[in-house]
Chains A and B, each alone.
Chain A
């Protein structure tokens, strides 16, 4: 159970313009400006939910996650995680949560991940039997094999990420904060990690908060999406709802048999032509007109390879952030 209430986090950042004179001046006098990373965000998440945070770079997603994990204390507002105030860092809470940062590693660099696992076992005071069982489960799910016995620096990025996830879950946390866990990984690895997170969530009823740049991560994994832009919450709800709200029109793609003026006129009557690639055409059609349009396309115009899709998430978000800026 995670609750955020009017959460704000502002930073003082030192400004340093380029140039020699400015460099010397900054030795003696520094100017600061306030960055409002999180500016009044509220939401509430139940146990076992999988929630994705979406937003452009610098939107405040990572900062929000860090506040919830207790790494930062908020400038104002409240946050509670499983009944605890995160930044007080009660050991009881720390034993129940985990934070995985895709850009930073907790594995000891020169040693095999197995050593880091041993350290974590001692730190979290995990009984040996439970530790062995958890490690076995995670090794199977993540397909670690003998990776854990190779020094971390010898592992590839994807292998390292898998070992990171294992290290983060050895104490069987019930709340997972995942900050860009798939960054820099290839598609196959991204899919593997998504599958893993979903199955962990289902097995242990663990709450998952995920931030990612990759739409596919969020779409595949999170039924609920929270969109944050410039520190404020723009949308909180399920993906379907978001899409419907922002752009209720469907995308219909198909291949025509012939092209020509007559066909163009016919298509123009049915909907807005979005893309034309030789004989492959994409139309934008309001949902309520869909049955009629499809009927015409298949019947009168005899198109083939017909596909009906929601608008791409990227377009939705671009539209959202564009909207918020006006």
Chain B
């Protein structure tokens, strides 16, 4: 018990430094950082497309304002939850620097998390206020005013972040087992675009696909927080959604750590 708690306290004590260094890393490459902000432009394109379509009449229950609200909310949530830890892990394994990370006494789940959390303030500073302003001015009809709902929104976004991170962390850990992991990353992004509501609102999807989307965790990374922004839900349903999201979060984090540990065992046995 004492060994585990000393590891924990060591981790906690190291966090401020980890975060600070993560900030320095992010700032070190200004241009790259701006590029990252820009790459999540698909919602804007989709938004233009569908608002143009909806000008000829509302499309399956969505009018132009509803589409604008939806995609701006998507952009906001995506900016706050997107990360590239899978790619980073694959690079480190490929370049051989993963071994260094394994030597540190803090679990890599935490060190990676810290460096990606550290990037959040910057991405938020630039992206979020802009989107929030746009949301309020152009689509005030499309946003909920329920105070309770808005107060749990940060929690939902935090859990969405953690689910995204856990899934990508698990995918990154697959690099311990497979040599060609780019296909899996691409596959993940495809699944994510489809089932999280990033590409299209989930209720616009053809029925069979929408049914599958309802049982996968992806909707909790995007569609559910977006729903909390754009729709007003009965509190019972709200609680139900949060509980489901929490369950997925806990399960996926455990799964990610488990895959990681298995991967490290294999890595240490095989070498590369």
Contact = CB atoms under 8 A, between A and B. Distances in A.
A–B direct touch in complex (beta carbons closer than 8 A): yes
Interface of A: 16, 18, 20, 23-24, 26-27
A101 B7 CA distance: 43
A16 B28 CA distance: 9
A23 B23 contact: yes
A181 to B, nearest CB: 23
B30 A20 contact: no
Nearest to B30: A27
A218 to B, nearest CB: 32
Contacts of A27: 27, 30, 122
Contact of A20 (B20, B28, B122): B20
B93 to A, nearest CB: 13
Contacts of B20: 20
A23 B24 contact: yes
Interface of B: 20, 23-24, 27-28, 30, 122
A23 B27 CA distance: 6
A16 B30 CA distance: 13
Nearest to A153: B272
14 contacts: A16-B28, A18-B24, A20-B20, A20-B23, A20-B24, A23-B23, A23-B24, A23-B27, A24-B23, A24-B27, A26-B27, A27-B27, A27-B30, A27-B122
A163 to B, nearest CB: 20
Nearest to B272: A153
A26 B122 CA distance: 13
Nearest to A28: B30
- Name the residue among B23, B27, B30, B122 with the largest chain A CB count within 10 angstroms: B27
Q: Which 8 A-B pairs have the closest CB atoms?
A: A23-B24, A23-B27, A27-B27, A20-B20, A23-B23, A27-B30, A26-B27, A20-B23
A18 B27 CA distance: 12
Contacts of A26: 27
Contacts of B28: 16
Nearest to B33: A27
A4 to B, nearest CB: 35
Contacts of B30: 27
A27 B29 CA distance: 9
A304 B28 CA distance: 64
A306 to B, nearest CB: 51
Contacts of A18: 24
Contacts of A20: 20, 23-24
Contacts of B23: 20, 23-24
B120 to A, nearest CB: 14
A201 B272 CA distance: 40
Contacts of A23: 23-24, 27
A151 to B, nearest CB: 12
B22 to A, nearest CB: 10
Nearest to A24: B27
A26 to B, nearest CB: 6
A24 B27 CA distance: 7
Given A20-B23, A26-B27, 11 more contacts: A16-B28, A20-B20, A20-B24, A23-B23, A23-B24, A23-B27, A24-B23, A24-B27, A27-B27, A27-B30, A27-B122
